A and B are shown apart, each in its own frame.
Chain A
Amino acid sequence: MLGAPTPVLSIGSGSAYANDRLAPAVAMADSGRVSVMGFDCLAERTMALAQIRRRQDPSAGQDERIGALVPLLRGYLSRGGKVVGNFGAANPDAAYEEFAARLRKVGLLGVRIGVIRGDDVHDLVTRLDCALPELGTTVGALGDRIVSANAYIGAAPIVDCLREDAQIVLGGRLADPSLFVGPICHELGWDLTDWDRVGHATMVGHLLECGVHSTGGNFEDPPYRLVPDPHNLGYPLADVDDGSVVVTKLPGTGGAVDELTMKTQLYYEIHDPARYLTPDVTADFTGVTIEDLGDNRVRLSGARGREWPSHLKVLVGVDQGWKAVGEMSYGGPGCADRARRAEEIVRARLDAFGSDIDDLRVDLQGVGSLFGDRLVGGEPTEVRLRLAVRTPNLEAARAAVHEVELLYFGPAGGGGATGSVVPALGVTPAYVPREQVRLETEVLET
Chain B
Amino acid sequence: MKLREMAYSRSGDKGDVSNICVFVYDQADYPTLVEQLTADVVREHFGALVQGTVVRYELPNVHGLNFVLDRALGGGVSMTLRVDPHGKAFQSLILDIDLPGGRR
**A contact set with B: CB distance below 8 Å:** 43-45, 48, 134, 218-219, 221, 224-225, 260, 263-273, 286-290, 302, 320, 323, 359-361, 363, 365, 369-375, 386, 388-390, 425-429
Contact = CB atoms under 8 A, between A and B. Distances in A.
A269 B18 CA distance: 8
8 contacts: A43-B77, A221-B8, A225-B8, A264-B23, A269-B14, A288-B61, A363-B83, A372-B49
Main secondary structure of the interface of B (DSSP, over half): mixed
Contacts, number: 124
Given A264-B23, A270-B19, A375-B96, A44 B76 contact: yes
B79 interface: yes
A269 B76 contact: no
Interface of B: 4, 8-10, 12-17, 19, 21, 23, 25, 45-49, 57, 59, 61-62, 64, 66, 68, 75-79, 81-85, 88-89, 92-93, 95-96
- A-B pairs, top 6 by smallest CB distance, nearest first, are A269-B12, A388-B81, A267-B21, A264-B10, A426-B79, A369-B83
A271 B54 CA distance: 11
A386 B19 CA distance: 26
A219 to B, nearest CB: 8
Nearest to A210: B12
A429 B15 contact: yes
Contacts of B10: 218-219, 264-265, 267-268
A120 B90 CA distance: 33
B57 A134 contact: no
Contacts of B76: 44, 134, 426-428
Which of B25, B62, B89 lies at the interface centre, i.e. has the most chain A CB atoms within 10 A of its CB? B62
Which of A260, A360, A370 lies at the interface centre, i.e. has the most chain B CB atoms within 10 A of its CB? A370
Contact of A271 (B19, B64, B82): B19
Contacts of A44: 13-15, 76-78
B78 A374 contact: no
Contacts of B14: 44, 269, 271
B8 A264 contact: yes
